[in-house]
């Protein structure tokens, strides 16, 4: 028998992570299932950012680069992130955007491959990888005369051929919530002589990640999704220590210099991951990111990412179960794998029509998820583009579950709203059928 509201309340009562929800300021009447797009606001952030503005900047002025520790922030925040992704202290820096960091590591990976295996001329990725990752890859392939080949996940194993230099994947797919096995995919790539670049945008803070355990080569990730760093928070970058000193990444700015305050006219890269820094970082956004990281690290005494993962799977299991029992007959499909080992911290539903309007009707009721178009996958072959790929995916209703602040009763209520939106055909109202730019 399917779970009841009472069951959901009992699950909340037993939830060892329940208290972590009080770290966040969430709007009244909102069930926020879009923390995979922009994480919620930690309660500490407003005061901490105000202190950075008023005291550190306003009073300390230029002196705060030292006295307020601004200059060490990329490394200090990087060390906090390291704890969430299976990296060691000194291996991660928080800096720039995910796209910029991807450019750095992909440049390094392609450069290494060009030195070690110059006949390998292909960069492999997943066709439904996050578009900005593909854009950066496309640009680098164009620059270097390589070919970007996009494959479906089921074709990945066969695609690891002798002409492939680098495999670039997002660990958890942004559209479907499907998760790769980082360890086995990395091992398969290495067996085929291929370097790996992992984007952890939808993983860090949500699912266990063990970069060193998987022997991954390069990785980047996002600060404003499950890490709750605030809109556009700086991203992060990790490089396997065995590669970190090898390549001078092309965005060679002052903050990545070995002796940045000697102001020498020639560039000498800092040792290790510090050379993946470039220009001056947005300190106020870094301050907010640190507050977000602390909300995730607060789970460490309660079991850390393993405990977060257990709860996340319980939440997504419950959501799938309730949607299938309460909303059947309304044309919804499931894009997210049922197999726990292949599931991130989100559930994506498919529907042939009306997905956008249903999401809008839910948002109007305070249940915030988002819509991802299937049209996008109608691949437009650029006349001069280096890509290749296949077509066809349905529209998606996407729901992210941040175990830090989503509870089991929230799931019950969200599905109840979805049921009502579908049963009453509320979503057919004109106001839910006009597209805005962003959701």
Residues 119 to 178 in contact with a second copy, rule: CB under 8 A: 127-129, 131-132, 134-136, 138-140, 142-143, 150
Least distance CB 61 / a second copy (angstroms): 6
Task: Check if 9 is active-site.
Answer: no
29 binds a second copy (CB under 8 A): no
Interacting span for a second copy (CB under 8 A) from 163-171, 315-323, 378-386, 409-417: 378-386
Residue from 17, 21, 32, 195 that binds a second copy (CB under 8 A)? 32
Residue from 376, 423, 429, 433 that binds a second copy (CB under 8 A)? 376
438 binds a second copy (CB under 8 A): yes
The number of residues in the chain equals 439
Residues 6 or more apart whose Cβ sits within 8 Å of residue 48: 287, 288, 290, 291
27 binds a second copy (CB under 8 A): yes
Least distance CB 60 / a second copy (angstroms): 8
Least distance CB 135 / a second copy (angstroms): 4
For a second copy, the closer of residues 95 and 336 by Cβ is: 95
DSSP class of residue 32 equals E
Least distance CB 308 / a second copy (angstroms): 20
- Residues in contact with a second copy, counted by CB under 8 A, come to a total of 98
Least distance CB 6 / a second copy (angstroms): 29
Do residues 401 and 312 touch, judged by C-beta distance below 8 A?
Answer: yes
Question: Tokens 């009447």 appear where?
Answer: 29
Beta bridge partners of 92: 238
For the window 226-255, what string marks contact with a second copy as x by the rule CB under 8 A? ----xxxxxx------------x-xxxxx-
Q: Tell me which residues in 259-288 interact with a second copy (CB under 8 A).
A: 261-268, 278-286, 288
Least distance CB 389 / a second copy (angstroms): 6
Q: Computed from CA positions of residues 83, 348, 36, 40, in that sequence, does the dihedral angle turn out positive or negative? A: negative
CA distance 136 to 156: 20
381 binds a second copy (CB under 8 A): yes
Single out the residue of 263, 273, 208, 204 nearest to residue 238, CA to CA: 273
Retrieve residue 332's tokens: 């919804």
Beta bridge partners of 348: 398
Write the DSSP string, 131-194: HHHHHHHHHHHHHHT-EEEEE-GGGHHHH--TTEEEEEEESB-TTT-BB--HHHHHHHHHHTT-
Do residues 371 and 359 touch, judged by C-beta distance below 8 A?
Answer: yes
Annotated catalytic residue within 32, 218, 224, 236: 224
Task: Check if 429 is active-site.
Answer: no
Task: Check if 405 is active-site.
Answer: no
346 binds a second copy (CB under 8 A): no
Alpha helix locations (H) across 376-439? 408-423
Residue from 2, 4, 59, 353 that binds a second copy (CB under 8 A)? 59
* Active centre residues (catalytic): 130, 199, 224-225, 398
């Amino acid at each position: 028998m399917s779970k009841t509201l009472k069951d959901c309340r009992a699950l909340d009562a037993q939830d060892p992570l329940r208290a972590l929800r009080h770290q966040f300021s969430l709007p009244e009447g909102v069930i926020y299932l879009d923390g995979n797009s922009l994480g919620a606001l930690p309660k500490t952030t407003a005061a901490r950012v105000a202190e950075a503005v008023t005291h550190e900047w306003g009073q300390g002025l230029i002196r705060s680069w030292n006295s307020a520790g601004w200059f060490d922030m990329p490394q200090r925040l990087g060390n906090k992130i390291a704890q969430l992704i299976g990296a060691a202290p000194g291996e991660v820096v928080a800096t720039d955007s995910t796209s910029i960091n991807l450019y750095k590591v992909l440049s390094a990976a392609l450069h290494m491959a060009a030195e070690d295996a110059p006949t390998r001329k292909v960069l492999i990725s997943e066709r439904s990888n996050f578009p900005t990752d593909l854009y950066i890859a496309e640009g680098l392939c164009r620059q270097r005369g390589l070919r970007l080949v996009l494959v479906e996940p089921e074709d990945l194993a066969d695609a690891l051929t002798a002409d492939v230099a680098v495999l670039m994947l997002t660990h958890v797919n942004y559209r479907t919530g499907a998760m790769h096995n980082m360890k086995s995919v990395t091992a398969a790539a290495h067996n085929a002589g291929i370097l790996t670049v992992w984007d952890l945008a939808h993983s860090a803070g949500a699912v266990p990640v063990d970069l060193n355990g998987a022997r991954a080569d390069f990785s980047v990730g996002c600060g404003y999704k499950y890490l709750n760093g605030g809109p556009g928070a700086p991203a992060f970058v990790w490089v396997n220590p065995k590669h970190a000193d090898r390549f001078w990444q092309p965005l060679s700015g002052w903050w990545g210099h070995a002796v940045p305050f000697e102001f020498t006219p020639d560039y000498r890269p800092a040792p290790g991951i510090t050379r993946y820094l470039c220009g001056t970082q947005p300190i106020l956004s870094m301050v907010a990111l640190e507050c977000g990281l602390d909300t995730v690290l607060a789970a460490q005494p309660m079991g850390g990412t393993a405990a977060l993962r257990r709860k996340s799977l319980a939440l997504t299991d419950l959501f799938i179960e309730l949607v299938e029992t309460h909303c059947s007959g309304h044309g919804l499909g499931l894009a997210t794998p049922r197999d726990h080992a292949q599931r991130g911290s989100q559930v994506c539903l498919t529907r042939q029509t009306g997905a956008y309007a249903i999401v809008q009707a839910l948002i109007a009721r305070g249940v915030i998820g988002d819509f991802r178009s299937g049209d996008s996958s109608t691949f437009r072959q650029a006349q001069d583009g280096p890509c290749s790929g296949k077509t066809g995916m349905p529209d998606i209703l996407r729901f992210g579950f941040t175990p830090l602040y989503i509870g089991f009763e929230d799931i019950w209520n969200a599905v109840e709203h979805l049921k009502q939106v579908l049963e009453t055909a509320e979503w057919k109202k004109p106001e839910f059928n006009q597209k805005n730019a962003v959701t």
